[in-house]
């Protein structure tokens, strides 16, 4: 039996019949009561083992195991911060005591002024922990239906016009202007740009290679370079032996600076984040009729659904189908205004041969892929 004191309270550590190591607070500063808690907990674990029931696990145990298993995550620091916040409210509670209403009250009260997106990030984490506790750890039988705050189906796509982008870059210092121009030319995320090294650049083949584990989805990505991107790289050449984007001899650590935000404000550009430069790049490509499957490869998105947010930016491929619609009483090519006062049905148009005594009707014009086949 292990019994120790921390911050005035006793804690116990024991091994369950299934071999699981249990650490738990006794909630008391009295050693005799702590010993009594230990004996009672051990007896409960043996009873559960004989009855083949799952022991009740606490939030603290789930949070600790999650952090151990997810230490490789790129968003690990965010997980630590959010778990620390949840632990302030859920410490010592068993997982079956945590309900949808409890989490909803906590988030609604403490994040009343936060966006729905921020609330959903916290909910997504606790939902993921509970799912893992059910599906992999087999600690619980079901997951509470935690509330989602943002309206489903609403995707934020914020982008700049070409004039706005030009004005914004004109207000930025040179080292930041080059980074923004490179982002608009390649669609790379801020982290990939700021950490870009010369050994990832092949200017002869006009490509930048982002290796495995360096992208958001963990997959390698080859990014073709257009003339604007190559121009940025040529101007950066020789400034640093390792890193591409630097400031005063050191790697540029952050692009979302006070100067960046000041330039946005001076241009009257509101509700715009640095990551929205990637949205701008994707939007401009779609507006120039780049297919979504090409855009998906260029941007390194795993799922087509991530690219569908830009689909409405170009409908040129749908135009031939819209042209196939023929309205009653109209010519599909010239759309004359017909007189409908005499009859609800349009009058029959006379063919050029009608005046010569012929009764054949006028041949109907058809459209094939938007082209006049009679021309």
CATH assignment of the domain containing 248: 1.10.443.10
Same domain, 80 and 24: no
Q: Which ranges constitute the DSSP H helices of the chain?
A: 31-51, 59-69, 76-90, 100-110, 116-135, 162-170, 174-186, 190-194, 227-236, 258-266, 276-287, 292-299, 304-307, 319-323
Mean of pLDDT over the chain: 83
User: Sorting pLDDT into bands at 50, 70 and 90, what band is 374?
Assistant: very low
Same domain, 18 and 38: yes
Active-site residue (options: 216, 240, 309, 354): 216
Same domain, 28 and 97: no
Q: Within a domain: residue 350?
A: no
Q: Within a domain: residue 100?
A: yes
Look up 301 and say whether it is catalytic: yes
Same domain, 267 and 192: yes
Same domain, 87 and 64: yes
Taking the C-alpha atoms of residue 106 and residue 90, their distance in angstroms, rounded to an integer, is: 10
Taking the C-alpha atoms of residue 63 and residue 130, their distance in angstroms, rounded to an integer, is: 10
Query: Residue 53 contacts by C-beta under 8 Å, 6 or more apart in sequence?
Result: none
Q: Within a domain: residue 156?
A: no
Look up 281 and say whether it is catalytic: no
Residues 52 and 79 sit within 8 Å (Cβ to Cβ): no
pLDDT of residue 152: 55
Taking the C-alpha atoms of residue 140 and residue 133, their distance in angstroms, rounded to an integer, is: 6
Same domain, 271 and 333: no
Q: Within a domain: residue 183?
A: yes
Taking the C-alpha atoms of residue 58 and residue 335, their distance in angstroms, rounded to an integer, is: 72
Same domain, 306 and 329: no
Burial of 83 per CB tally in 10 Å (0-12, 13-18, 19+): buried
Angle at 285 between CA 282 and CA 288, to 5 degrees: 150
Same domain, 67 and 120: yes
Q: Within a domain: residue 248?
A: yes
Active-site residue (options: 85, 137, 198, 301): 301
Same domain, 65 and 37: no
Ordered DSSP codes for 220-277: -EEEE--HHHHHHHHHHTTS-SSBSSEETTEE---SS-HHHHHHHHHTT--S--TTHH
Phi and psi, residue 119, nearest 5°: -60, -45
Over residues 325-347, the pLDDT tens digits come to 877 876 655 555 444 444 444 44
Query: Residue 215 contacts by C-beta under 8 Å, 6 or more apart in sequence?
Result: 189, 192, 221, 300
Residues 357 and 349 sit within 8 Å (Cβ to Cβ): no
State the residue range of the domain holding 25.
2-51
What is the mean pLDDT of the segment spanning 152-173?
A: 85
Total residues found in the chain within this entry:
375
Look up 216 and say whether it is catalytic: yes
Active-site residue (options: 119, 189, 279, 286): 189
Residues 24 and 34 sit within 8 Å (Cβ to Cβ): no
Look up 110 and say whether it is catalytic: no
Q: Which long-range contacts (CB under 8 A, 24 or more apart) does 46-54 make?
A: 46/17, 49/16, 49/17, 49/18, 54/138, 54/139, 54/140, 54/141
pLDDT of residue 153: 53
Q: Report the domain count for the chain.
A: 4
Taking the C-alpha atoms of residue 121 and residue 224, their distance in angstroms, rounded to an integer, is: 33
pLDDT of residue 314: 80
Look up 243 and say whether it is catalytic: no
Ordered DSSP codes for 282-299: HHHHHHTT--HHHHHHHH
Domain boundary among 117, 135, 153: 135
Same domain, 104 and 222: no
Same domain, 216 and 101: no
pLDDT of residue 162: 94
Burial of 281 per CB tally in 10 Å (0-12, 13-18, 19+): buried
* pLDDT for 352 beyond 60: no
Q: Within a domain: residue 345?
A: no
Active-site residue (options: 38, 127, 278, 286): 278
Taking the C-alpha atoms of residue 285 and residue 294, their distance in angstroms, rounded to an integer, is: 10
Q: Within a domain: residue 141?
A: no
Over residues 46-68, the pLDDT tens digits come to 776 666 666 788 999 999 999 99
Task: Name which of 37-41, 57-61, 138-142, 283-287 the model is least confident about.
Answer: 37-41
What is the mean pLDDT of the segment spanning 225-252?
A: 94
Query: Residue 131 contacts by C-beta under 8 Å, 6 or more apart in sequence?
Result: 143
pLDDT of residue 370: 39
Instruction: Work out whether strand 246-247 and strand 207-210 pair parallel, antiparallel, or are unpaired.
Output: unpaired
* pLDDT for 361 beyond 70: no
User: Sorting pLDDT into bands at 50, 70 and 90, what band is 315?
Assistant: confident
Q: Within a domain: residue 196?
A: yes
Q: CA distances (Å), 325 to each of 10, 283, 294, 329, 361, in order?
A: 79, 28, 29, 12, 22
Same domain, 195 and 290: yes
Active-site residue (options: 275, 302, 362, 366): 275
Strand-pair partners of 368 = 371
Residues 163 and 240 sit within 8 Å (Cβ to Cβ): no
Look up 189 and say whether it is catalytic: yes
330 by DSSP, 3-state: which?
Answer: coil
Burial of 62 per CB tally in 10 Å (0-12, 13-18, 19+): buried
Angle at 279 between CA 153 and CA 78, to 5 degrees: 75
């Amino acid at each position: 039996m292990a019994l120790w004191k921390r911050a005035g309270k006793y804690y116990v550590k024991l091994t369950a019949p299934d071999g699981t190591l249990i650490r738990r607070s006794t909630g008391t500063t009295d050693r005799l009561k702590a010993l009594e808690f230990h004996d009672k907990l051990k007896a409960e674990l043996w009873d559960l083992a004989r009855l083949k029931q799952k022991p009740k696990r606490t939030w603290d145990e789930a949070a600790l195991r999650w952090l151990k298993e997810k230490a490789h995550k790129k968003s690990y620091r965010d997980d630590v911060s959010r778990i620390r916040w949840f632990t302030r409210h859920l410490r010592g509670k068993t997982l079956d005591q945590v309900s949808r209403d409890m989490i909803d009250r906590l988030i609604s009260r403490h994040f009343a002024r936060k966006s729905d997106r921020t609330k959903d990030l916290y909910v997504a984490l606790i939902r993921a922990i509970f799912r893992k506790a059910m599906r992999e750890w087999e600690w619980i039988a079901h997951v509470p239906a935690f509330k989602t705050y943002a309206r489903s189906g609403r995707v934020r796509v914020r982008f700049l016009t070409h004039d706005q982008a030009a004005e914004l870059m004109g207000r930025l210092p040179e080292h930041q202007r080059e980074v923004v121009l490179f982002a608009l030319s390649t669609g790379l995320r801020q982290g990939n740009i700021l950490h870009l090294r010369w050994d990832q650049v092949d200017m002869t083949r006009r490509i930048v290679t982002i290796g495995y584990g360096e992208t958001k989805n963990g997959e390698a990505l080859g990014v073709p370079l257009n003339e604007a991107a190559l121009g940025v790289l040529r101007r950066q050449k020789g400034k640093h032996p390792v890193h591409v984007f630097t400031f005063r001899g050191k790697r540029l650590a952050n692009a979302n600076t006070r100067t960046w935000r000041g330039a946005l404000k001076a241009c009257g550009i509101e509700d715009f984040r640095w990551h929205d430069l990637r949205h701008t790049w994707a939007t401009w490509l779609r507006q120039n009729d780049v297919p979504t499957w090409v855009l998906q490869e260029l941007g390194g998105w795993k799922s087509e659904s991530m690219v569908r947010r830009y689909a409405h930016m170009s409908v040129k491929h749908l135009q031939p189908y819209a042209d196939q619609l023929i309205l009653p009483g109209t010519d599909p090519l010239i759309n004359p205004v017909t007189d409908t006062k005499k009859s609800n049905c349009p009058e029959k148009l006379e063919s050029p041969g009608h005046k010569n005594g012929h009764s054949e009707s006028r041949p109907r014009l058809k459209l094939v892929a938007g082209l006049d086949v009679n021309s």
